Structure 1
Amino acid sequence: MRFDQHTVVLLTRPSDPPDLPPEAVDRLRHGHLAHQAGLVEQGLVLAAGPLLDVDDHGMRGFVVLSIAPDEVRGLYADDPAVRAGLLSARVASWLVPEGVVRFESVPIPVSMLEAAAGD
């Protein structure tokens, strides 16, 4: 059997996030969404989104990318929310039987205002 290999990122909230004022958290969330949108614009992200109804409330988001794990680690090290310690990026390779998973275009919000508009 042949497999397609993708790289996945599980975005988690660290157990000891920094104590930041709400305005700083908002700026970091905006920066995170802008960073993510930039990766989408480059064609690197196949799918992305927040996680809801999770058993572990530290789990925040999931991303599937088309590039190697080492490259992904470097990209997420530059995410403002990861740099500030608000999020952690856990990276792994994901193998699925060839052709089983197909991805379309990836529309994601580029700001917290746009993300909130979907509520």
Structure 2
Amino acid sequence: MRFDQHTVVLLARPSHPPELPQDAIDRLQDAHLAHQAGLVEQGLVLATGPFLDTDDDQLRGFVVLSIAPEEARDLYANDPAVRAGRLDVRVMSWMVPEGNVRFEGVPIPRSMLEAAAGD
């Protein structure tokens, strides 16, 4: 059997994130979303989104990329929320039977305001 290999990034809240005022957290979230959208526009991200209703309140989001794990680590080291210590990055390879998972190119929000516009 053949397999497709993807790189997966789990975004997690650190045990002790820095305390910031809400407006700074909002700006960091917008910068994080813009960073994600830029990676999508470059064709590097195949799928991404936040987790909801999880038993692990540290897990925040999931990203599937078309690049090697080392490259993903480098890209996410530059994510503004990671640099600010508000998110940690866990990178791994994910293998699925060839053709088992397909991804469609869809735009993602570049800010919280844009994300809310879809409600």
User: Per-residue CA shift, 1:58-110, capped at 9, x if unaligned?
Assistant: 11100000000000000000000000010111100000000110100132110
Amino acid at match of 1:44: L
Please tell me whether residue 65 in structure 1 is matched to residue 81 in structure 2. no
Answer with 61-70 or 109-118: which moved more: 109-118
**What secondary structure is seen at the aligned counterpart in 2 of 1:85?**
coil
TM-score, normalised relative to structure 1: 0.97
Cα distance in 2 for partners of 1:29, 1:84 equals 11
Answer with 104-113 or 61-70: which moved more: 104-113
Please tell me whether residue 110 in structure 1 is matched to residue 110 in structure 2. yes
Amino acid at match of 1:106: V
Cα distance in 2 for partners of 1:47, 1:67 equals 13
8 Å Cα contact 1:45/1:106 also seen in 2 = no
Runs of 4+ in 1 over 4 A off after TM superposition: none
**What secondary structure is seen at the aligned counterpart in 2 of 1:55?**
coil
Superposed, which structure 2 residues align to 1:1-119 within 5 Å? Answer: 1-119=1-119
Amino acid at match of 1:46: L
Answer with 105-114 or 45-54: which moved more: 105-114
Q: Give the unaligned 5+ runs of structure 2.
A: none
* Distance apart, 1:116 and its partner CA: 1.9
Q: Give the unaligned 5+ runs of structure 1.
A: none
**What secondary structure is seen at the aligned counterpart in 1 of 2:73?**
helix
Amino acid at match of 2:59: M
What root-mean-square deviation, in Å, do the aligned CA atoms of Structure 1 and Structure 2 show? 0.8
Count of residues in correspondence between the two structures: 119
Amino acid at match of 1:10: L
